[in-house]
Amino acid sequence: MSDLNLKHIGINYPAVWILTKREVIAFWRDKARIISSFAQAILFLLVFGYSLGQNTFPPGFNYKAYLASGIGALTILFTGIFGGMGLMRDKMFGFMKELIVAPVSRQTLMIGRTLGIAIQTVIQVLIILTLGIAFGFLGYNPDLFLRILIIIPIALAASMGIVGIGLIIGTKIRNFQSFGLIQTFIVMPMFWLSGTILPITNDSILYPIYQYNPFSYCVDLFRSVLIGINNFDIWLDILVMSAFAIGLILLGAISFNKMDVS
């Protein structure tokens, strides 16, 4: 039976846990993906951290800390979007058909997958922040551990919204080539116009776009918590990020409910 006949069941929390665990275990068993997470983080940190000298920025501006906090937030964007590719893989290889006919609602399937990808994202964020500390980019302040603990729920909430984008894309397209093209037009502008790598000052012609990029507020909140640097008020960061996450989760749920797996 399809979800249309099982709406009265609601959310099956044991099934949510099983689906979440499946996503986390799949990530843990994919050693190439774990290694690539380390390699990508090291590449960004070393290339940008050491190629852009401190003389490039105003005195007192710690670019390495700025970079490490931004790369931590960037992980949310890439991991969340590519979570949609996993959905498309399940559609192509028939696993999604088996899930759809199971006696659980589509809402349960969507929540389990979203939460699993979000937990993967948090793990990768912690990996990158650990590397940032190991390289000395984030310093060794005694309160840094507490700041990282605060980052965990922030990363989890932000990743839920980004996963929603991945779900919308993954439910609408049917091949990996199209996914790559679409995610490039979505991910790259959000990435480069969020101040992740380089600051975007208010005298830049890109600043208006930066202000309207919802991912900018996620990056800004990361930096505010980790290193105390922010361009927006922290409550505005929380408000925009929360609205973005809730809106994309709802849109992702609608798209998932309408998904055709035939």
Q: Would you tell me how many other CB atoms lie within 10 Å of the CB of residue 39?
A: 10
Indicate whether 208 belongs to any domain: yes
CB distance 68 to 132 below 8 Å: yes
Rounded average pLDDT over 102-107: 78
Indicate whether 105 belongs to any domain: yes
For a pLDDT cut of 70, what percent of the chain falls above it?
89
Per residue in 167-188, pLDDT (tens digit) is: 888 787 777 677 667 767 888 8
Question: 18: which 2 tokens?
Answer: 């099983």
Structural domain that includes position 107: 3-257
Amino acid at 125: V
pTM, two decimal places:
0.84
Helix (H, G, I), strand (E, B) or coil at 60: coil
Question: 66: which 2 tokens?
Answer: 């700025």
Indicate whether 186 belongs to any domain: yes
Indicate whether 219 belongs to any domain: yes
Indicate whether 172 belongs to any domain: yes
Indicate whether 51 belongs to any domain: yes
Q: Is the dihedral of CA 11, 15, 18, 19 positive or negative?
A: negative
DSSP state of 9: G
Q: What span, in angstroms and rounded, lies between the C-alpha atoms of 112 and 228?
A: 34
Indicate whether 223 belongs to any domain: yes
Lowest mean pLDDT among 1-15, 82-96, 140-154: 1-15
Question: What's the structural domain count of the chain?
Answer: 1
Indicate whether 262 belongs to any domain: no
